[in-house]
Amino acid sequence: MTSRSTRQRTLQALLSTGLIALASGCGGTASDKATATLDDAQMENPARTHEKPRLVLQITVDQFRGDLPTRYADRLGEGGLRYLLEEGIHYNNAHHGHANTETIVGHVTLATGFDRKTGVTTYNIEDRDEHLLTEGADVDAATEIDPTQKAATSDGRSPRAILTTTFSDELASLTAGRAKIFGVSVKDRGAVSMAGHTGKAFWFSKATNQFVTSSYYYDEYPRWIVDWNARKIPESYANTAWKLLHPIDTYLFGKQDDQEWEAELGSYGRTFPHEFTTPENPYFSTFLTISPAGDEITTDFAKTLIAEEGLGDDDVTDYLGVSYSATDYIGHFFGPSSLESEDNILQLDRTLADLFAYVDQEIGLENTLIVLSADHGGPEAPGYLNKLGIPADYVSPDEWDKDPVIAQVKSKFGIRGQMIEGYDHPYLSVLCDPEHFVGTRDGSRQRIDASGP
């Protein structure tokens, strides 16, 4: 991996993944390019020509829509997003080429560089014979060693559904398996995808407030993970709250904290401060993940992993994928244009600065290639748009069965009762129970097989 051509190949593999931001600590000049193609001028950037890094740190920020890295640019601190934007290369018009803007699809695209033929096209992988066979990971109960995951409706976690190699897989192949490869996220799919087939993945169990893995990766937990979990860092947030980083009147959305379209989850409420309550509350860990705390906890675990596994401690390039989930949960609950989202991004910026400072201390930013992208964006809440005078509404698949067009189809085929069972993009589930088919106009019974895409 010492030749220039090999370095280029590695970098091009990274660049082909639709990056929003890319940086290394090599002191590259700021650049703002609308495309992801290399030209001579770009190749002059030290971020592209520096000797091989000791660590590739691929960060995915879940639902970090394209406008969000710079929307609050004037309020960013030092050493976090500003470091990437000013010292690295920022692609502000990068696109993923897949249909479903969902976490597992976006992550696999980022992990592999493929936007097709990865085998992971949707969150729920449909099977024509076994309905909802798996939820983007694995279904083999035997692979799961964590009791809380055993109880999940989709058992076990592994990259078995990924049909192609990931960047981390190629790195493992290139280094005869010597590269140390890890993926970390609150979400299982955020970690499994980045670790690929060759790395190790850890994700956060909301049931136990612990980082867990599966027997695909380990027969038993490494000691340092047991020790990290024993420190009960998530529990240290008990009886605290998500509070604004700055005075409320300094925020763009400072006068719009309480909005009727924001979701309200029990005592968590729609306005600051959002109380985490205590671990005895079954929603405690969920509250943590709908706040900057989820990313802080993930970062603490990632920092411990870097130290305990010795990432970047020799001349073989290692890989760490860190996927931050808070942006996505907060986007779902409060919308991307909300006081919660605004504060979370400012706090994420501080969390990134904390991670980068640690990497600088342990490995050196000059030895680290940092890549940051979103897995997908997120639409505005219809209520937010309505308030601005823009017509928008939620889709209601439950209502589609009553649509005049569907009524005509049902009439044509003599279908009584419900026809559309559900919608999980891009799949439309249509009931095929023969009981619903009473005959066509010529008197014969017919059955339509509408399963699958």
Interacting residues toward Zn ion by CB under 5 A? 62, 103, 328, 375
Structure tokens at 242: 């998500």
Binning the chain into helix, strand and coil, the percentages to the nearest 5 are 35, 15, 50
The Cα 125–Cα 299 span in angstroms is 30
Catalytic residue among 60, 103, 122, 134: 103
Name the residue type at position 352: L
CB nearer to Zn ion: give 31 or 100.
Answer: 100
Query: Among 410, 408, 402, which residue's Cα sits nearest to residue 450?
Result: 410
Q: DSSP secondary-structure letter at 182?
A: E
At residue 342, the 3 state secondary structure works out as helix
**Minimum distance from CB of 106 to Zn ion (Å)?**
6
CB nearer to Zn ion: give 103 or 229.
Answer: 103
The Cα 263–Cα 271 span in angstroms is 11
Pairing of strands 181-185, 318-324: parallel
CB nearer to Zn ion: give 318 or 375.
Answer: 375
**Minimum distance from CB of 191 to Zn ion (Å)?**
13
**Minimum distance from CB of 325 to Zn ion (Å)?**
8
**Minimum distance from CB of 107 to Zn ion (Å)?**
7
The Cα 452–Cα 128 span in angstroms is 6
Backbone angles phi, psi at 298, to 5 degrees: -60, -40
CB nearer to Zn ion: give 42 or 373.
Answer: 373
CB nearer to Zn ion: give 110 or 359.
Answer: 110
Centre a 10 Å sphere on the Cβ of residue 44 and count the other Cβ atoms it contains: 11
How long a stretch of residues is the chain?
453
**Minimum distance from CB of 110 to Zn ion (Å)?**
11
Q: DSSP secondary-structure letter at 367?
A: G
Residue pair 104/193 in contact by the 8 Å Cβ criterion: yes
CB nearer to Zn ion: give 259 or 325.
Answer: 325
Q: DSSP secondary-structure letter at 362?
A: H
Residue pair 306/312 in contact by the 8 Å Cβ criterion: yes
> 271 catalytic, yes or no?
no
CB nearer to Zn ion: give 50 or 376.
Answer: 376
Query: Among 58, 28, 79, which residue's Cα sits nearest to residue 358?
Result: 79
Residue pair 87/23 in contact by the 8 Å Cβ criterion: yes
Query: Among 279, 123, 122, which residue's Cα sits nearest to residue 205?
Result: 279
**Minimum distance from CB of 185 to Zn ion (Å)?**
10
Instruction: Compute the C-alpha angle 373/3/372, nearest 5°.
Output: 5
Q: DSSP secondary-structure letter at 120?
A: -
The Cα 320–Cα 318 span in angstroms is 7
**Minimum distance from CB of 210 to Zn ion (Å)?**
22
CB nearer to Zn ion: give 101 or 418.
Answer: 101
Q: Residue 89 forms beta bridges with which residues?
A: 22, 31
**Minimum distance from CB of 158 to Zn ion (Å)?**
19
The Cα 352–Cα 21 span in angstroms is 13
Q: Which residues are catalytic?
A: 103
